[in-house]
């Protein structure tokens, strides 16, 4: 989990430093899928959400990827 937090923190830092116009959304998953936020451009809030994520039991990786892709298509 610390590697995930470091990756997303670095992503957010670079996005803000280079003033990229990105939107981010966050889904957490284990044996269930939880949408933590809709598309936002507030990276400080995004990092807080990533930092509060905890590892869980099973994994619904592919279901979460499908859900995330659908939300991008419907954006």
User: In this predicted structure, what is the pLDDT of residue 40?
Assistant: 93
Residue 2 in this model has a pLDDT that exceeds 90:
no
How far is the C-alpha of 27 from the C-alpha of 36, rounded, in Å? 6
Copy the structure tokens of residue 17. 């430093």
pLDDT tens for each residue of 7-63: 988 988 888 888 888 899 999 999 899 999 999 999 889 999 998 888 887 889 999
Copy the structure tokens of residue 66. 């499908």
Range of the domain at 66: 2-73
Element (H, E) at 24: strand 24-29
- Whether 29 and 61 have beta carbons less than 8 Å apart is answered as yes
Q: How many domains in the chain?
A: 1
Copy the structure tokens of residue 37. 């936020």
Residue 66 in this model has a pLDDT that exceeds 90:
yes
Ramachandran area for residue 58 (φ above 0: left; ψ -120 to 50: alpha; else beta):
beta
């Amino acid at each position: 989990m610390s590697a995930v937090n470091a990756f997303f923190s670095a992503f957010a830092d670079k996005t803000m430093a280079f003033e990229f116009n990105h939107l981010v959304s966050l889904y957490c998953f284990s044996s269930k899928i939880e949408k933590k936020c809709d598309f936002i451009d507030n990276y400080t809030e995004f990092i807080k959400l990533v930092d509060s994520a905890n590892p869980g039991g099973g994994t619904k990786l592919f279901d979460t990827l499908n859900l995330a892709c659908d939300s991008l298509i419907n954006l």
